[in-house]
Structure 1
């Protein structure tokens, strides 16, 4: 948030002056529906946006029309004594990144539920219409089981806040501060610290200018003093565009995957026959080679999406690094302020929030869950940083940064759940592949694959897909990020960009190699059981599980460590100065 009037910060209210603020009706609440109405028009900082948000249609507005728009916008909020969520943002960031970020925050979970519900409904309808084995080669599977659920997902992602009933209450400056009444506006801005202190949680819409804004730092310092780092959520503005780009690219990959058979008829059968001819009568070996080769060759569908994928992941890597680096080097004295007159009162307010209250001995005695070493570290930290502003700096560099990493990880981390969401089109396609019997009539397909019945074929394929979805698909993104970071650690020139570009298809190919191992070890086991094949299949599962645990559980270990000793240490720097 930035200051709107120069005089507003001259007499900033204490966070403890809530009764007076509430008496004058200064504290307001809004809803996600109001905030995201007309695709987040309130985040566009222009007069035209104010008029549109206030429902006034005028190309050359009069002063009265502007006042009417401001009053109408203000009346969309209501008086309150507490809100669930305080939304902090910088006005330097654009409207659309904020809109998409908040759509992701409020609507993503609901969008996934609606998409899965649509998928389940279509499965029931199609099976009831044609039977479980009557959908082989059906042209309805891809549109009904992939495209339609994904359309529902995107629509609910963008518009879900319009269809929900009970939503969290929130505070956001454009809706809860009067935009056209200068006196009321000044009073509300002066009470900013009160609004922050009376908010249950704080959501930071991070962009590369957030920590540079002095008003944003005041919000953060107040929330740190009264609520703590564990109630601060940081949502980077690059995250939603990156996730949407990954989903859309995967839809393209699924479409190309589905077109392999029509464009190259019976290519998988040709691979199987070639493997059988090469290995002779070794049926298990021929099926292993054939399944592995088919999956490896299928990775070619991701070659066309390598270019946009490269730009998307490079943006993710660099933006995430920038956010963590900014927090590591944070200094409130370097923050920018639009109006020079605001700097001193805001800085003084932050200094008061982090000032030592001469309660060190009582604080140390009251920390029952902190050992003696931690108490010594706390006393040392308070003495070592006598300047309250420096304590705030250490708080952001330490405890808050650790909390952010615990929430969203470092630049190499992508949550397992997020990876599955990004691959949701391919996950939905797996059902089309199973029910469609590899784009052939089921009674023919199971014989060509060597199974004894159509049901055995479908159950085996379903099991293989489930294992690929859980053990292989999520590997792509963390591996790609590690490859990109390694390459860019050697520089940012043309050779590095060429090598990084080549990493994109390689990462997807590795995903398909792992998937190929699952299929190639499971199908021969089902077709011709033996102890050796069972042991090999279990070995593949163990290796893939260990690999998955290494890539995803490191963040959990890091979070657990931060939640105990590291968090206590940074409480030493900020916690003692928080005592009142």
Structure 2
């Protein structure tokens, strides 16, 4: 077994074997590096003899010599180019894209405020000033500046964020296609032999998971090596190849739904003011004509009917989520039933070598004292023992089935959950659109002004709608996806008919959106009542509704307490590069 300490890594760097690739190399040419597989299979196979040994110098020369890397990319070459490219865009750019999108929104607010101030100073007449301000307040322009433009910025930075930022914040990366010479067989053989060193000297491992990943013996060896030297299983990040396409499609579908909301509000199809007023008066009549009830019902019906605008996207959303459930479930099932012996190897001669490497990583150096309750004789002293190879491999199987799977669940949840931060990203278009109501000029000099809406000043209006916006965007809209996923799982359990699943799934998707806008209308109504005309009773109602929304968000997104644990294997718990430590680690059963 090759030594993996810092000195060994430095020696490999001096010999030009330990390399790191940049984010631009991996994302360049729209992920061109993923377009073709390796020229020869890592392991015993060689590249075809007719391949020039210097043919791979260009890509290999673009990397730099290092003694450690921040991210080791583990993947299979059986998956297609585009899912990998999108996954790497997600890994490297999604945070930058979200920040850039919100930055463009803030910039748009600043630009329009400057334009409004300029008009106030330089307009030739009051009428001209009013006309210009009316155009600035037109929803058509607000939607363009505050919804479509930020979403466009998000997509630009999602794909080209590293190019725009010149990879200033990108980690160093190890990718086999770039960091292992593909045509120089002598150099390649040395690098393949040093693969455990490269893995051990990586701060994190990024697993680009597809449905064949756990079937690849060399991928499993990479996992075992990293597990030995990693401080915790959380350092191994699983990024399913379905995640990035699902995220992008969800954002586009939400943008389409928001576009319908904007169009219907402009046409006043669903929110005719007179009809809303009639509904408010009729509802208030049941409560003795209370003005507070009338205010609540009026605001509720300003918001709730908007779920109808999402009906056109209910079907594609349902289909997208069904694929998400299938891919997510398959990954967790593969981890739960993982068995190294079932992994495939393109070159069968590699199997004993790889299995021996895994066994060395997971061998137990000592058997520790075991105290049995009620025993009269003292337990024996520590006894040195060497586990056989099969037991070490079984220990690795247990590691994947237990701690690694638990870490994966903590990171991306199970098939009926979506992490909260991803829900926020998916609803960016709605966040941008709803935030227009909280801008200081949204109603100035427009058809509806702050005083006609019942507010004492523009700042009173902005404060009210800002509170409404924060409540809905942080607590309400994110629950749409967990509700929808549970609906789809319920449909799957009720019928196996594809047609019925399609029909019921569409209805479940529509119901999920209706429930979301019901919650949104409720919190908007309560907030407007207490902000426009304070009432102790309605303040209690507001806090009650708010508490229910917080509990709901915790139910869907809060971390659950750990289940009862069993100690089934020794898990690597850190240590230095030359002497990693194995510790007895407990993890949940039955996940």
Q: TM-score, normalised by structure 1?
A: 0.85
Displacement of 1:385: 9.7
Q: Is the 8 A contact 1:276 1:282 kept in 2?
A: no
State the partner residue of 2:316: 308
Larger fraction in helix? 1
| Distance change in 2, residues 1:166/1:552 (3 Å) | closer
Q: Is the 8 A contact 1:193 1:219 kept in 2?
A: yes
User: Which deviates more from structure 2 when the two are superposed, residues 221-230 or residues 150-159?
Assistant: 221-230
From 223, 227, 239, the counterpart of 2:226: 223
Residues 118-154 of structure 1: per-residue CA shift (max 9 Å, x gap) = 1111101101212599443353211111111111111
Displacement of 1:294: 2.6
State the partner residue of 2:331: 323
From 243, 246, 250, the counterpart of 1:246: 250
Q: Distance in 2 between matches of 1:485 and 1:508?
A: 16
Q: Is the 8 A contact 1:71 1:178 kept in 2?
A: yes
State the partner residue of 1:40: 31
Q: Is the 8 A contact 1:443 1:454 kept in 2?
A: no
Q: Distance in 2 between matches of 1:387 and 1:394?
A: 10
Residues 357-410 of structure 1: per-residue CA shift (max 9 Å, x gap) = 3x2349x99xxxxxxxxx99x99x998996211111111111111111122222
Report the secondary structure of 2:567's partner residue: helix
Residues 466-520 of structure 1: per-residue CA shift (max 9 Å, x gap) = 2111121111111111221222233432323321221111111111000000112
Q: Distance in 2 between matches of 1:204 and 1:338?
A: 20
| Distance change in 2, residues 1:166/1:511 (3 Å) | closer
State the partner residue of 1:272: 276
Residues 535-556 of structure 1: per-residue CA shift (max 9 Å, x gap) = 2112111111111111111xx2
Aligned residues: 535
State the partner residue of 1:129: 115
| Distance change in 2, residues 1:524/1:385 (3 Å) | farther
User: Which deviates more from structure 2 when the two are superposed, residues 324-333 or residues 471-480?
Assistant: 471-480
Q: Distance in 1 between matches of 2:138 and 2:572?
A: 64
Displacement of 1:341: 1.5
From 560, 567, 570, the counterpart of 1:569: 567
State the partner residue of 2:126: none
Q: Distance in 1 between matches of 2:94 and 2:113?
A: 28
Q: Is the 8 A contact 2:143 2:433 kept in 1?
A: yes
Q: TM-score, normalised by structure 2?
A: 0.83
| Distance change in 2, residues 1:334/1:503 (3 Å) | same
Alignment of 1:394-543 (within 5 A): 394-435=398-439, 441-442=445-446, 444-494=448-498, 495-543=500-548
State the partner residue of 1:6: none
State the partner residue of 1:151: 152
Report the secondary structure of 2:346's partner residue: coil
Alignment of 1:86-125 (within 5 A): 86-125=72-111
Q: Distance in 2 between matches of 1:390 and 1:320?
A: 25
Displacement of 1:189: 1.5
Q: Distance in 1 between matches of 2:67 and 2:442?
A: 59
Q: Is the 8 A contact 2:113 2:441 kept in 1?
A: no
Residues 85-138 of structure 1: per-residue CA shift (max 9 Å, x gap) = 111001111111111111111111111111111111110110121259944335
State the partner residue of 1:7: none
Report the secondary structure of 1:446's partner residue: coil
Within the alignment, does 1:335 sit opposite 2:339 as a pair? no
| Distance change in 2, residues 1:18/1:462 (3 Å) | closer
User: Which deviates more from structure 2 when the two are superposed, residues 389-398 or residues 291-300?
Assistant: 291-300
Q: Distance in 2 between matches of 1:150 and 1:465?
A: 18
Q: Distance in 2 between matches of 1:523 and 1:96?
A: 47
Q: Where does structure 2 lack aligned partners over 5 or more consecutive residues?
A: 40-48, 121-129, 372-378, 583-591
User: Which deviates more from structure 2 when the two are superposed, residues 272-281 or residues 345-354?
Assistant: 272-281
Report the secondary structure of 1:204's partner residue: strand
State the partner residue of 2:374: none
Report the secondary structure of 1:489's partner residue: helix
Q: Is the 8 A contact 1:211 1:335 kept in 2?
A: yes
State the partner residue of 1:168: 171
Q: Where does structure 1 lack aligned partners over 5 or more consecutive residues?
A: 1-11, 49-61, 366-374
Displacement of 1:46: 5.4
